[in-house]
């Protein structure tokens, strides 16, 4: 019997939590008739754990030729992801929409699956980070940035590095990439967990920011999926033809940022910009502490 007062409430909460875990364990119990890859997520890996064996350059350029990293199987989705019955049709429609076909659709499935899709009590049973877009986002972000950097370097041969960095940031960010995701029709095909799906039922600033982050992550994961599926050259081609043109288009329509424009024009004329907070009276207190806003000072370089 539960106790009374706060102790009783705490016990009740504990019982509810255990009940939820038990239900999840039953709902996500693996089917013994289906093969499961016995590889789980590793944590606390340090630089000391890195081996000194050098990968063949062919494996770096065309990862599909190296079986060592391929730990995700179709059975992981069948058992743990609760795949909707019409998802296969949705994936086919996406490839038609992009005019781009995956050799192994498993990579596309991983790119569109959020980590929250898998119950926490199953993460030790299979490589959930690889069967979702977590690792692919990390991989695709590097490829996309390389593609954009090469594009900017060749397009603006006389522009300094700081300006190139600003241009790259204007193209590769959550706001722009989330719009690219919408254009690629990615959100409707994403597999999300219940903890994330509720964000789509709200129109708050926090919910919209979360959705932008999710959608941008899928674009990066998609580029990473193409790399694993068809190699580095094709991944850069996908980024250059399916992502970059749309990113440029949407970046140009973003609201004007006056602060960035001031920095840009000042740097172009050899000035260094520094913003200071001007306070009426002494900096250490003085007559009044009423802030009168930012004070702009410039220094010639």
Catalytic residues: 141, 220
Cα–Cα distance between 253 and 251 in angstroms, integer? 5
Helices marked H in 83-171: 87-98, 105-111, 134-155, 161-171
Asked whether 121 and 156 are in contact (CB, 8 A), the reply is no
Helices marked H in 156-242: 161-171, 174-183, 194-197, 205-230, 232-238
Neighbours of 280 (CB within 10 A): 11
CA angle 249, 254, 260 (to 5 degrees): 120
User: Which of left, alpha, beta for 300 (phi over 0: left; psi -120 to 50: alpha)?
Assistant: beta
Q: Which two tokens stand for residue 141?
A: 């972000």
Cα–Cα distance between 17 and 207 in angstroms, integer? 26
Q: Which two tokens stand for residue 227?
A: 């790399």
Cα–Cα distance between 80 and 114 in angstroms, integer? 12
């Amino acid at each position: 019997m539960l106790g009374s007062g706060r102790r009783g409430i705490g016990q009740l909460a504990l019982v509810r939590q255990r009940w939820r875990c038990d239900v999840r364990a039953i709902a996500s119990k693996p089917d013994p008739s289906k093969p499961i890859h016995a590889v789980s997520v590793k944590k606390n890996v340090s630089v000391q754990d890195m081996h000194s064996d050098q990968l063949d350059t062919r494996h770096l350029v065309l990862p599909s030729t190296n079986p060592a990293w391929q730990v995700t199987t179709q059975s992981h989705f069948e058992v743990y992801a609760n795949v909707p019955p019409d998802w296969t049709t949705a994936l086919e429609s996406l490839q038609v929409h992009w005019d781009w076909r995956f050799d192994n659709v498993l990579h596309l499935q991983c790119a569109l699956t959020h980590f929250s899709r898998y119950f926490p009590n199953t993460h030790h049973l299979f490589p959930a980070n690889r069967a979702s877009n977590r690792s692919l986002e990390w991989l695709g972000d590097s490829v996309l940035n390389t593609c954009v950097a090469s594009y900017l370097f060749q397009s603006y041969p006389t522009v300094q590095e700081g300006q190139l960095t600003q241009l790259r940031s204007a193209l590769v960010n959550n706001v722009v990439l989330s719009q690219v995701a919408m254009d690629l029709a990615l959100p409707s095909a994403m597999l999300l967990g219940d903890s994330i799906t509720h964000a789509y039922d709200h129109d708050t600033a926090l919910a919209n920011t979360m959705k932008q982050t999710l959608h941008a992550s899928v674009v990066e994961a998609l580029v990473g999926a193409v790399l694993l599926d068809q190699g580095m050259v094709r991944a850069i081609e996908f980024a250059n033809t399916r992502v970059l043109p749309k990113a440029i288009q949407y970046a140009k329509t973003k609201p004007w940022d006056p602060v960035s424009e001031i920095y840009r024009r000042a740097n172009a004329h050899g000035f260094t910009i520094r913003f200071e907070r001007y306070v009426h009276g002494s900096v250490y207190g003085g007559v009044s502490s009423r802030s009168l806003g930012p004070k702009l000072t410039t220094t010639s370089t």
